[in-house]
């Protein structure tokens, strides 16, 4: 008798959890799950190994600037 009661309790709790999942607003989940990938990434342009002293486009790392704002606002560095 106890295994049947446990099975029924688990089944009812599963239905309750499924009902709660159906109540969630899907638009909130979709908008918060977008991954942000920046236009520019820090890069090493000088001879020093550990110093990141310039910003390069994420798509094309051959296009670089010394300032992050210049890189982000440049039309040569398109967003993804």
Residue 80 has a pLDDT of: 72
Residue 48 has a pLDDT of: 65
| pLDDT, tens digit (0-9, with 9 covering 90-100), for 18-70 | 777 666 665 555 555 567 788 898 888 877 666 678 889 988 888 888 888 98
Measured at the CA of 79, the angle between CA 76 and CA 80, to 5 degrees, comes to: 130
Q: Using alpha carbons, list the distances in angstroms from residue 40 to 24, 44, 46, 57.
A: 35, 13, 17, 5
């Amino acid at each position: 008798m106890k295994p049947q009661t446990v099975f029924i309790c688990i089944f009812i709790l599963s239905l309750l959890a499924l009902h709660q999942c159906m109540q969630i607003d899907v638009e909130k989940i979709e908008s918060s799950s977008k991954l942000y990938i920046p236009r520019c990434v820090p890069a090493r342009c000088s001879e020093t190994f550990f110093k990141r002293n310039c910003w390069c486009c994420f798509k094309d790392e051959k296009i670089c600037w010394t300032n992050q704002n210049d890189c982000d606002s440049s039309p040569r560095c398109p967003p993804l």
